Homo-oligomer: A and B are copies of this chain.
Amino acid sequence: MFEATKVGRSVDKETFAAEQEGLRTDLLTVQRELKQTDIPVIILIAGVEGAGKGAVVNRLNEWLDTRGVQTFAFWDETDEERQRPRYWRFWRSLPPRGEMGILFGGWYLAPIEHRFRSICNDAELDAELTRIVDFERTLIQDGALIIKFWFHLSAKDQKKRLKELARDDRSRWKMLPDKTKFAEQYSLFEYIAERIIRHTDRGISPWYLIEAADPRYRDLTMGKTLLHAIRKRLGQPVAVESPPSEEPELPNVPSAQITVLDHLDLTLALPRDEYRNELGRLQSEINDLAWQAYKEKRSIVLVFEGVDAGGKGGAISRITNAIDARLYRAIPIAAPTDEEKAHHYLWRFWRHIPRAGYITIYDRSWYGRVLVERVEGFAGEAAWRRAYTEINQFEEQLVEGGIMLFKFWVHISQEEQLRRFEDRESTPYKRYKITDEDWRNREKWPQYKVAVNEMIGRTSTESASWTLIEGNDKPYARVKVLRTLCAGIKAGLERGVCKQSGYIPCGEKRPPPEAK
């Protein structure tokens, strides 16, 4: 694969100077054009040690208008990053629309190093690469342009470069003595690099291999490639790789309209006194469990979705009243801020993922994408259809990161909703809870039912299943939520979390799912 990067290409000083001039102007021009679009540009810089990745990035920062470019190196992980799922740090480094992010190594850094140090084997590496492909696709389908550079040197050139670097006081490389290994084991490194590039070189986010022996050739090629890639993207809409799978065509019989929601027994209820006893007991239990999870540094994420006036709020407050306020954060999901709008829709949820030991309660969530955004037409069909996969991958990462994830759908009947709406309108201190929008949503009950049915079917996964809550009787609903949580957290704490060494997916080592 790397043969073409060891052929001794170079550019002389004069040609470089002449070509650079036009290139700079062109790059500044496309950068300005980019600002007017909603395209975030992600530039990944990777390659062998000594290829001059740092110099390339400095060159880029020299050529581009640095206002609108952010550079991220993933050197030292801060504890805020370490205590969250692995990809949190990448999500927080993503550029907003219209801007560029230059990422050193990015999500490729850990896989390369871990395979190199034999912390993982080829199969585990491949599993991670599959995830990377998914992650990149997610960003690209949201409009991002990802440009990946691999800078390469022959073994001989590398040896020479590393010797020079070791003498240079200004070199970051000097501070990393253990990287000398990379030079000693050139062929292993090349083997890994080839495997990684081969697995992640997709049409929509290709790798560009560049010979790095001559800095002028290296930089000029990189700059021209970048220019070309951005120009091409500016003239093209997003290329959605393949249409996401659709639902089966339904036969024209009444039973085809039955959904999982129709199987809920909404007559279930709990007598007042039983409710009071159970509530007290469960609240005390969940308080204990929250402290225990805090001590064991396990995080918890709760997701509440449900019919309007279904009782989400009441169920949430029965939890928050029980748990120490220092341990949880309740995040109500309303309209996104403009910073949130400038990113992928999952970005606003990633930013609230709790640190180790803490709890985040999402009052409505990323499922808005396949519920309200689908039904109201805010998201196109391709967008909400692929959201199922994106959400499943997102939640898988949370769970792998040691987070205990619980998802509740709180349901009531259409008649019960009407009763509650009317009650809200006639009770002064509840009136703020009901708006015209609620009435409008109510008219779309059938569409919501279809959306919910599909959502539950597609996103109730082994690691992140939905709990459906029969909500007509509020006491019953609240107790069921608390019971599910207590049992789930207890089981989660007992099961423990498999130690993840860096990027290694712990799928294989995960014990079988708990009995339901």
**Residue in B closest to A290 when the chains form the complex, CB atoms:** B170
B80:A321 contact, CB within 8 angstroms:
no
Range for the number of chain A residues in contact with chain B: 35 or more
Q: Which residues of B contact A79 (CB under 8 A)?
A: 78-80
Q: Which residues of B contact A75 (CB under 8 A)?
A: 326
B324:A54 contact, CB within 8 angstroms:
yes
Check: A515 CB closer than 8 A to any chain B CB. Answer: no
Check: A57 CB closer than 8 A to any chain B CB. Answer: yes
Binding-face segment, A24-32, A143-151, A408-416: A24-32
With A32-B432, A67-B330 known as contacts, the answer to whether A321 contacts B288 (CB < 8 A) is no
B104:A326 contact, CB within 8 angstroms:
yes
Q: Which residues of B contact A73 (CB under 8 A)?
A: 326
**Residue in B closest to A83 when the chains form the complex, CB atoms:** B78
**Residue in B closest to A329 when the chains form the complex, CB atoms:** B70
Count of chain copies: 2
A57:B338 contact, CB within 8 angstroms:
no
Q: How far is the CA of A338 from the CA of B175 in the complex (A)?
A: 41
**Residue in B closest to A75 when the chains form the complex, CB atoms:** B326
Check: A287 CB closer than 8 A to any chain B CB. Answer: yes
- A residues 95-120 touching B (CB-CB < 8 Å): 102, 104
Q: Which residues of B contact A172 (CB under 8 A)?
A: 291, 324, 326
Q: How far is the CA of A66 from the CA of B338 in the complex (A)?
A: 23
Q: How far is the CA of A196 from the CA of B337 in the complex (A)?
A: 39
Check: A486 CB closer than 8 A to any chain B CB. Answer: no
From residue A433, how far is it (CB to closest CB) to chain B in Å?
10
From residue A27, how far is it (CB to closest CB) to chain B in Å?
11
From residue A303, how far is it (CB to closest CB) to chain B in Å?
15
Q: How far is the CA of A24 from the CA of B25 in the complex (A)?
A: 63
Q: Which of B25, B57, B67, B316 contacts A66 (CB 8 A)?
A: B316
B67:A325 contact, CB within 8 angstroms:
no
B429:A66 contact, CB within 8 angstroms:
no
Q: Please list 28 pairs of residues, one from A and one from B, whose beta carbons are closer than 8 Å in the complex, sorted by A's number.
A: A54-B324, A54-B325, A54-B326, A57-B326, A58-B323, A58-B324, A61-B320, A61-B325, A62-B320, A66-B317, A67-B332, A68-B332, A69-B330, A73-B326, A78-B78, A78-B79, A78-B355, A79-B79, A102-B325, A169-B288, A170-B288, A172-B324, A172-B326, A337-B337, A337-B338, A337-B339, A338-B339, A339-B339
